[in-house]
A and B are shown apart, each in its own frame.
Chain A
Amino acid sequence: MTHTKLVAATAVLALSCGAANAIDLTVVSWGGAYSKSQINAYHNPFMEMNPDVNIIHDESAYEAVAKLRAMNEANNVTWDLVDAVASDAIRLCDEGLAMEIDFDNMLAPAPDGTPATEDFGDLIVSDCFVPQIVYSTTFGYRTDVAEWGGREPTSVCDVFDLENFPGMRSLEKRPINNLEWALHCDGVALDDVYDVLSSDEGVARALAKLDTIKDDVIWWSAGADTPQLLADGEIVIGSTYNGRLFSLIEEKGAPVKMLWDAQAFDLDGWIVPVGLPEDRLAKTLELLRFATDTQRLADQAKYISYGPARMSSAPLVGQHAELGIEMAPHMPTDPENAKNTLIYDYRWWSDYRDDIDAKFQAWLAK
């Protein structure tokens, strides 16, 4: 009897505590330096302004699509704001798992009054996706390779040149970007890459080009792999996210340089899951509006070398919070770095990804 009473009393206490005070918002992101930059630039200032909000960090963005689908099927969505790459956001939108965003009403205009749709411009690639940063997948190479005889790679095609630049390379263990680079170095203009890839012959051509270096490639699946392999001297050149290379070069001082040629742009941003209760949704939208305004996006660049997605944020990008170096030259969007870029075609890949992945995996296994 006393037992039951005790349990009941505890339950009542727990319930009343939960209801009376703070709203917990669960924000899902990628962890590491990236989450840290978001916490410093967005979450902490927001919680200071809204003492009734408590932001809980979840680092499972890499499986966000699958988890959101499962949550939606179970009718119990426990996430409020989710960081996703554009291709995942497009799929979440397709599956009806992400809310459609009314950009001009839900998001802050630029300081000069430019509406959000114009400020984000072409980067709005889905109705459900609020872009946050532009990052790129690009190559880093070691500067102390004896066999290279003082030569340094200047073009992405040097990755395919085993004669002048011998040594192991690393590429991501998926077709995206690799096929584009391979075709580009097989003589296809970057603008025509997707037209060529749309046919079976185009895919075969790209794989044939990759065949020429297949024996010298280590395939990575985690963003941390290439920096580690470069630092250990296990590879001489490898692709990864530009922010990882920044931290390897500037923060750890490894003898590595960036090869920005044909860097592949990609976007990362926020989606709001459908099916949130009213009170959480209201706060989430408030946080979304705050975290994607011009100043906040510029602030994030103090902590990590990814370019803010708003045009109006670019002039506000300052120095690194700890290293004190100017961040603008390290941004993938800096004109000096973005002379030759590959624009990742989300729509195209959302159609062909499964099909080409099967071919790519079959090729890898051969």
Chain B
Amino acid sequence: MSAHAQSETGFAAVEGGAELRRRLRRSLRWQKARALFLIAPLLLFILVTFIAPIADMLFRSVENDLVAETLPDTVEALRAWDAGNDSSPGPEVFRALYFDLSLAVEQKKHTRVGSRLNYESPGIASLFRRSGRALRSFETAHFRDHFLAADPAWESVERLTALFSDAAVAAALPESARAFGIWAERNARRNRPPADYLYVMLADELLAGGGGSAPAGVSGDHAALISAVLPGLGDIREPDWKAAFIDSDDDWADPDLWQTIRIFSPPLTEGYFLNAVDLKKGIEGIESRPESERIYVVIFIRTLVMSLTITLACILLGYPVAYLLASLPISRANLLMILVLLPFWTSLLVRTSAWKVLLQQQGVINDILVAIGIIADESRLVMINNQFGTIVAMTHILLPFMILPMFAVMKTIPPSYVRAARSLGATSWTAFRRIYFPQTLPGIGAGSVLVFILAIGYYITPELVGGTKGTFISNRIAYHISTSLNWGLGAALGTILLAAVLLLYWIYDRIVGIDNVKLG
């Protein structure tokens, strides 16, 4: 810092120093820009194909705007509902639900909300699906009749389009204008008459504006059209929305259903994360899931324990091999190296299936054991579709990731160190323990980090040979991403897994030191 300052004053002393300094700064900036320019493709590539999708996926673990977006008025009306006295909400909530649901059905979004809420409470998906159909049979035809009796032009899609494109009308009747826009986008070309719910909304909004005369600012034809329907508009009786909904399906009378809707109406939710650790959001706050549904904590622990076991097995098996590779003459080491790498070049699926053939009860190993009389034919060993099979297959698959860094480190250890120790009187065991082994630790560290992190996210091998007790958390993530479509829960499980890996990495750095890791 001080040297820098000195050189700057030094430059300043020279005549035209300011100019020189500017030029230096420019050239430094240019260098930095060039360096950035060189890594820009990689940076961009990683940002677009790696960081952004992961960030997007992580965000899904808390995202929950579907409910409030699709049922805005209902959610608003529900706020005032007192859930304490164990009864369903009042008529105003059902009225809001009718408006929200009508538009949601038009946009085919009601079933999406249904599926979202079904994750929390089974049965809601089909309730929304059924109610979407039932809306058509609600008694709302008299609204349309009233409008058409006042002026048949109310059935003309062209006239309504013109009416709502009038800025004054759109400003006075924003809800109806929006609803008509949504309806027209999907139906205008199909030559259908306007849907009933449009008239119900219009009546509602006109009455809310006083109902005495056409809204201020609207003039001409449009004012006439609106004024024609106003007499008697207030006398139209709305159906009993609550009764209508409950008639169509008595699930609507269930306070628990409304609790679920209310709990999962905020735009962000911690529900997925709670679910991912076997908790749930109940009426009284966070509670534990019933024992018969607790699953994720067990699988997380199992994933960690099995990954550690696999890493340990890789160290035990890989160390002698790496040592042999490092100490053999080049020509023979190369041959051995090919043997290590050969399985590496074979498809993962092929290797996993090969283990199936070897380990199954009618498989090669059991056949041999029976043939040489070690075990009886009736008591063949169960070595696959359990944790043992998963550990064997994954250790085999991940072994090269352990051997290669170990080998690279061992290769750099001069044999003269061990020779020196021996010449000073150490036994071969002491020489290994005190001199050789400590120098190979960076290789073990690198291999372990590599194998452990690969193992913890493994998916296909546990799926194929894991049976019921050998599956990993990634199998559940895959299930939620591709089968149950509960992406939020999948994302939450993935986030926890990522956090766990980062945490372990941090602990490793604190204990061993990441500088100590060498890949060669």
Residues in chain A within 8 A of chain B (CB atoms): 62-63, 65-66, 69, 91, 93-96, 168, 173, 200, 203-204, 218-219, 221, 232-234, 347, 350-359, 361-365
Contacts and interface: CB of A to CB of B under 8 A. Distances in A.
Nearest to A233: B362
Given A96-B111, A232-B360, A365-B469, A350 B125 contact: yes
Interface residues of B, number: 42
Given A96-B108, A351-B118, A358-B295, A365 B482 contact: no
Nearest to B289: A358
B467 A354 contact: no
Given A65-B485, A232-B360, A359-B293, A352 B476 contact: no
Contacts of B484: 353-354, 357
Contacts of B291: 362
Nearest to B127: A351
A204 B302 CA distance: 25
Nearest to A94: B111
A170 to B, nearest CB: 10
Interface in B358-411: 360-363, 385
Interface centre among B109, B363, B471, by most A CB within 10 Å?
B471
A96 B109 contact: yes
B468 A364 contact: yes
A91 B122 CA distance: 15
A354 B486 contact: yes
Contacts of A94: 111-112, 114-115, 125, 129
Contacts of A356: 122
Contacts of B292: 200, 203-204, 359, 362-363
Interface string B98-132: 00000000011101101100110011111001000
Contacts of B129: 94
Q: Which 4 A-B pairs have the closest CB atoms?
A: A94-B111, A355-B122, A96-B108, A364-B468
Contact of A347 (B126, B294, B298, B467): B126
A362 B112 contact: no
A358 B468 contact: no
Interface string B339-372: 0000000000000000000001111000000000
A365 B361 contact: no
Contacts of B463: 221
Nearest to A221: B463
Contacts of A173: 468
B119 A219 contact: no
15 contacts: A173-B468, A200-B292, A219-B467, A219-B468, A221-B463, A232-B362, A351-B123, A351-B126, A352-B122, A357-B484, A358-B293, A358-B295, A365-B298, A365-B469, A365-B471
Contacts of A168: 361
Contacts of B200: none
Contacts of B467: 218-219
Contacts, number: 90
B299 interface: yes
A63 B360 contact: no
Contacts of B294: 362
A29 B362 CA distance: 34
A212 B299 CA distance: 24
B5 to A, nearest CB: 49
B481 interface: yes
Q: Interface of chain A, helix or strand or loop or mixed? A: helix
Nearest to A363: B292
A69 B485 contact: yes
Contacts of A352: 122-123
Contact of A350 (B126, B476, B479, B483): B126
A233 B111 CA distance: 46
A365 B122 contact: no
Given A94-B111, A94-B129, A361 B295 contact: yes
Given A95-B485, A350-B126, A351-B126, 18 more contacts: A66-B481, A93-B111, A94-B112, A94-B115, A96-B107, A96-B112, A168-B361, A200-B290, A200-B292, A218-B467, A232-B360, A233-B362, A234-B361, A353-B484, A354-B484, A355-B293, A357-B479, A365-B468
B385 A218 contact: yes
Given A350-B125, A351-B118, A365-B469, A66 B482 contact: yes
A192 B216 CA distance: 62
Contacts of B468: 173, 219, 364-365
B117 to A, nearest CB: 11
Contacts of B485: 65-66, 69, 91, 95
A210 to B, nearest CB: 12
Contacts of A96: 107-109, 111-112
Contacts of B471: 365
Contacts of B361: 168, 234
Interface string B287-316: 000111111001100100000000000000
Nearest to A65: B485
A143 to B, nearest CB: 17
B118 A65 contact: no
Contacts of B385: 218-219
B304 to A, nearest CB: 15
B142 to A, nearest CB: 29
A203 B361 CA distance: 32
A94 B482 CA distance: 16
Contact of B295 (A93, A221, A353, A362): A362
Contacts of A353: 484
Contacts of A365: 295, 298-299, 302, 468-469, 471
B476 A361 contact: yes
Given A66-B482, A69-B485, A168-B361, A95 B115 contact: yes
Contacts of A95: 111-112, 115, 485
A91 B114 CA distance: 11
B350 to A, nearest CB: 15
Nearest to B56: A73
Contacts of B298: 362, 365
Contacts of A363: 292
Nearest to B490: A66
B111 to A, nearest CB: 4
A63 B122 contact: no
Contacts of A221: 463
Contacts of B363: 232
Given A218-B467, A362-B294, A365-B468, A351 B362 contact: no
A255 B85 CA distance: 66
A356 B295 CA distance: 12
A223 B427 CA distance: 59
B110 to A, nearest CB: 9
A234 B359 CA distance: 11
A96 B186 CA distance: 14
A357 B479 CA distance: 10
A356 B123 CA distance: 12
A362 B298 CA distance: 9
A354 B295 contact: no
B319 to A, nearest CB: 33
Contacts of A364: 468
B125 A351 contact: yes
B282 to A, nearest CB: 15
B111 A65 contact: no
Contacts of A62: 482
